[in-house]
Structure 1
Amino acid sequence: MRKLFLPFCILLLMSGCKKSELDVATSSPSASADKAVAVADYEMEASKSPQVAPSNTISEKLLPDENVSAQPSVTPKKIDTIAKKVIKNGNMKLQVGDIKKAQSQVANILKKNNAYIQTEQFQNTDVDDNLDLVIRVPHKNFDALINSFSDGVGSVLSKNISSDDVTEEYTDVSIKLANKKIYLEKYRDMLRSASTTKDMIEIQEKIRELEDEIDVAEGRLRFIDDRVNYSTLNLSLYKEKVRSSATSKIGFGSRFGDSVTEGWNSFVSFLLGIISFWPFLLLIPILIYLWRKWRAGRAK
Structure 2
Amino acid sequence: MIKLFLPLCILLLMSACNKSEMEAANSPAIKMMSEDKVAEEVYQVAPPNSISEKLLPDKNKSPQPSIAPKKLDTIAKKVIKNGNMRIQVGDIKKAQNQVADILKKNEAYIQNEQFQNTDLDDNLDLVIRIPHKNFDALINSFSEGVGSVLSKNISSDDVTEEYTDVSVKLANKKIYLEKYRDMLRSASTTKDMIEIQETIRELEDEIDVAEGRLRFIDDRVNYSTLNLSLYKEKVRSSATSKIGFGSRFADSVTEGWNSFVSFLLGIISFWPFLLLIPILIYLWRKWRTGRKK
TM-score range, shorter chain: 0.5 to 0.7
Question: Which residue identity lines up with residue 215 of structure 1 in the other structure?
Answer: D
By how many angstroms is 1:126 displaced?
3.2
In the alignment of these two chains, the number of paired residues is: 219
Letter in 1 for 2:172: N
Question: Which amino acid counterpart does residue 188 of structure 2 have in structure 1?
Answer: S
Q: Which amino acid letter does the alignment assign opposite residue 88 of structure 1?
A: K
Q: Is the 8 A contact 1:243 1:258 kept in 2?
A: no
Question: What one-letter code is carried by the residue in structure 1 that aligns with 2:248?
Answer: S
Measured against aligned partners, the alpha-carbon deviations of 1:157-184 in whole angstroms (never above 9, x if no partner) come to 2322222222222111111111000101
Identity %: 74
CA distance in 2, matches of 1:217, 1:115: 28
Shift of 1:287: 4.5
User: Which residue is equivalent to 1:256?
Assistant: 245
Deviations 1:188-237 (A, max 9, x none): 11112222222122111111110010000000111111111111111122
Distance 1:151 1:268 in 2: 45
Residue 200 of structure 1 corresponds to: 193
What is the DSSP-based 3-state SS (H/G/I as helix, E as strand, rest coil) of the residue aligned with 2:269?
Answer: helix
Q: Distance in 2 between matches of 1:143 and 1:265?
A: 49
Whether the aligned pair in 2 keeps the contact of 1:245 and 1:255 (CA below 8 Å) is no
Tell me the SS of whatever aligns to 2:81: strand
Q: How far is the alpha carbon of 1:111 from its aligned partner?
A: 0.7
User: Do the aligned partners of residues 257 and 155 (structure 1) sit closer, same or farther apart at CA in structure 2, a change above 3 Å counting?
Assistant: farther
In 2, the alpha carbon distance for the partners of 1:101 and 1:214 equals: 48
Aligned equivalent of 2:180, options 150, 173, 187: 187
C-alpha distance in structure 1 between counterparts of 2:260 and 2:137, whole Å: 50
Correspondence 1:86 to 2:75 = no
Residue 279 of structure 1 and its aligned partner are, at CA, apart by 5.3
TM-score, length-normalised on structure 1?
0.65
Q: What letter is aligned with 2:234? A: K
Distance in 1 between residues matched to 2:255 and 2:247, nearest whole Å = 12
Distance 1:158 1:230, change over 3 A: same
**Range with greater deviation from structure 2 (127-136 or 215-224):** 127-136
Structure 2 vs 1, CA of residues 276 and 178 (structure 1 numbering), >3 Å: closer, same or farther?
farther
State the partner residue of 1:225: 218
Unpaired stretches in structure 2, ≥5 consecutive residues: 1-70
In the aligned structure 2, how far is the partner of 1:93 from the partner of 1:265? 33
| Structure 2 residue identity aligned to 1:146 | I
* Residue aligning to 1:274: 263
- 1:167 paired with 2:154, answer no
SS of 2:225 mapped into structure 1: strand
3-state DSSP of counterpart to 1:94:
strand
Q: Work out the CA distance in 1 between the residues paired with 2:143 and 2:249.
A: 35
Correspondence for 1:238 = 231
Residues 140 and 258 of structure 1, relative CA distance in 2, 3 Å threshold: farther
Q: Is the 1:79–1:175 Cα contact (8 Å) retained in structure 2?
A: no
Write the distance in 2 (CA, Å) between the matches of 1:270 and 1:151.
45
Contact 1:245–1:258 (Cα < 8 Å) also in 2: no
> Does structure 2 retain, via aligned residues, the 8 Å contact 1:92–1:156?
yes
Return the match for 1:289 from 265, 278, 283: 278
The whole-number CA distance in structure 1 between the counterparts of 2:198 and 2:192 is 10
Give the letter for the 1:194 counterpart: A
2:200 matches 1:211: no
1:263 and 1:207, CA in 2 relative to 1: closer, same or farther beyond 3 A?
same
Counterpart contact for 1:133–1:234, Cα < 8 Å: yes
Deviations 1:37-73 (A, max 9, x none): xxxxxxxxxxxxxxxxxxxxxxxxxxxxxxxxxxxxx
Could you tell me which residue of structure 2 aligns to residue 155 of structure 1? Answer: 148
Local SS of the residue matching 1:277 = helix
Deviation at 1:277, TM superposition (A): 2.8
